[in-house]
């Protein structure tokens, strides 16, 4: 971080106005509980706990000994299944499983506390390095929406988010971001519940609401990004909706803009094909306006802007070939 600051110091605060600090896989604050790259994990698997190196095991033993339960310090739950299991395949994650037992509560608290401590160290370092540089610091939290409708929320638990039907696992994360003045960047902003696999009990919409509400309670600004490359009107409308999400009787609503920034992923040749570019222009207009304007006005302005930006589009498309 110091090398980056020193190399680009003349651009900080002017050209470079935000720095996103990586804290884990894909830059997100989480354990690598669902590795996709080599086919080890497939959606919507519950993932696996990552607590078996010598440092984690030493920490677990110390925590277990500290509460007089040394038998709890030998490793993670032995009945939590494998990467691609479903919750009900396991004794630990099933409806009334071990996750809700005294041992489960001890282990999950320890596991999530270590992730929070890791994030605390990184954000404290970033805060020190970039203090008075004029840039905002942001960090990513993963949008683990599969099995959100279950009691145990297993995919979140294996990633280090101690979030269940009975416990808010995102408020401690938001509070940690707040202590360092960091923007919380969240993903899956374009997703709707009905688009997901029913059997996996996905709920990106409720997950987003929970995270945004936790951030508001902690006084933390929220930024967003889409998880999948989408160029359809439905995805754009959902992004617009979530970027202005409000809650009934929310005492924090008046003091927060709904979403301070949005990153659109990912630029590709598809963005510049057919009607995709015109729809994207319309989407950007509405995001910039801060409100949904009349559809006929959107279409008219988008058509004009799409024509005006055509040379830029062609240049960008050529660069991607």
Looking at the fold, whether 187 and 310 belong to one and the same domain comes out as: no
* Listed residue (122, 111, 125, 29) closest to 73, CA to CA: 111
Task: Kindly state the average pLDDT of the residues 202-226.
Answer: 95
**Max CA pair span of the chain:** 71
Looking at the fold, whether 237 and 312 belong to one and the same domain comes out as: no
Report whether pLDDT(46) > 70.
Answer: yes
Domain count across the chain: 2
Report whether pLDDT(64) > 80.
Answer: yes
Cβ–Cβ under 8 Å, residues 170 and 163: yes
Q: What is the pLDDT of residue 156?
A: 99
**Element spanning 307, H or E:** helix 295-308
Task: Kindly state the average pLDDT of the residues 79-91.
Answer: 98
* Cα 212 to Cα 206: distance, rounded to the nearest angstrom: 10
Q: What is the pLDDT of residue 258?
A: 72
**The pair of three-digit structure tokens given for residue 267, joined into one six-digit string:** 């630029």
pLDDT tens per residue across span 260-308: 999 999 888 999 988 899 999 999 999 988 764 444 344 455 555 555 5
Looking at the fold, whether 164 and 54 belong to one and the same domain comes out as: yes
| Integer CA distances (angstroms), 121 to 25, 60, 117, 183, 247, in order | 17, 19, 6, 16, 33
Looking at the fold, whether 40 and 156 belong to one and the same domain comes out as: yes
Looking at the fold, whether 254 and 308 belong to one and the same domain comes out as: no
Looking at the fold, whether 279 and 256 belong to one and the same domain comes out as: no
Among 266, 286, 309, the domain boundary falls at: 266
Looking at the fold, whether 129 and 65 belong to one and the same domain comes out as: yes
167 phi and psi, to 5 degrees?
-150, 135
Whether 195 is a known active-site residue: answer no
- The CATH number given to whatever domain includes residue 87 is 3.20.20.80
Looking at the fold, whether 64 and 173 belong to one and the same domain comes out as: yes
Distance, first Cα to last Cα, the chain: 33
Q: In this predicted structure, which of 42-46, 55-59, 185-189, 243-247 has the lowest mean pLDDT?
A: 243-247
Looking at the fold, whether 123 and 63 belong to one and the same domain comes out as: yes
Among 266, 285, 312, the domain boundary falls at: 266
Looking at the fold, whether 274 and 261 belong to one and the same domain comes out as: no
Looking at the fold, whether 193 and 217 belong to one and the same domain comes out as: yes
Residue 185 DSSP SS3 = strand
Q: Which of 28, 156, 190, 205 is catalytic?
A: 28
Residue 193: Cβ-neighbour burial (10 angstroms; 0-12, 13-18, 19+): middle
Angle at 307 between CA 302 and CA 311, to 5 degrees: 130
Domain of residue 165, residue span: 2-266
Q: What is the pLDDT of residue 291?
A: 61
Cβ–Cβ under 8 Å, residues 150 and 157: no
Among 233, 250, 266, the domain boundary falls at: 266
pLDDT tens per residue across span 171-180: 999 999 999 9
Q: What is the pLDDT of residue 296?
A: 39
Burial 231-270 (b: 16+ CB within 10 A, else e): beeebbebbbbbbebeeeeeeeeeebebbbbbebeeeeee
Q: Which of 205, 225, 295, 297 is catalytic?
A: 225
Q: What is the pLDDT of residue 256?
A: 59
Write down the pTM of the prediction: 0.88
Task: Kindly state the average pLDDT of the residues 42-65.
Answer: 97
Looking at the fold, whether 153 and 282 belong to one and the same domain comes out as: no
140 phi and psi, to 5 degrees?
-100, 140
Whether 225 is a known active-site residue: answer yes
- The mean of the pLDDT values for the chain is 90
């Amino acid at each position: 971080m110091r090398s980056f600051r020193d190399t680009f110091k003349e651009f900080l605060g002017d050209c470079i106005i935000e720095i996103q600090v990586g804290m884990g896989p894909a830059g997100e604050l989480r354990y690598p509980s669902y590795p996709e790259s080599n086919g080890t994990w497939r959606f919507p698997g519950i993932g696996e706990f990552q607590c078996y190196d010598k440092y984690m095991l030493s920490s677990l033993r110390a925590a277990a000994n500290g509460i007089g339960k040394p038998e709890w310090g030998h490793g993670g739950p032995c009945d939590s299944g494998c990467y691609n299991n479903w919750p009900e395949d396991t004794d630990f994650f099933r409806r009334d499983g071990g996750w809700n037992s005294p041992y489960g509560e001890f282990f999950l608290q320890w596991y999530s506390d270590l992730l929070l401590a890791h994030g605390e160290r990184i954000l404290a370092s970033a805060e020190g390095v970039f203090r008075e540089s004029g840039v905002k610091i942001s960090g990513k939290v993963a949008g683990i929406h599969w099995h959100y409708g279950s009691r145990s929320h297993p995919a979140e638990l294996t990633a280090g988010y101690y979030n269940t039907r009975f416990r808010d696992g995102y408020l401690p994360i938001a509070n940690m971001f707040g202590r360092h003045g960091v923007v919380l960047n969240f993903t899956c902003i374009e997703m709707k519940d009905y688009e997901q696999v029913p059997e996996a009990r996905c709920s990106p919409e409720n997950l987003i609401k929970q995270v945004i509400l936790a951030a508001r309670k902690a006084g933390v600004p929220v930024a967003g990004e889409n998880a999948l490359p989408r160029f359809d009107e439905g995805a754009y409308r959902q992004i617009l909706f979530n970027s202005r999400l409000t809650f009934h009787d929310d005492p924090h609503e008046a003091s927060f803009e709904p979403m301070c920034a949005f990153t659109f992923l990912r630029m590709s040749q598809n963005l510049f094909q057919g009607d995709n570019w015109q729809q994207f222009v319309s989407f950007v207009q509405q995001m910039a306006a801060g409100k949904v304007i009349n559809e006929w006005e959107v279409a008219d302005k988008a058509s004009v802007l799409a024509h005006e930006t055509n040379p830029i589009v062609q240049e960008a498309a050529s660069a991607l070939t």
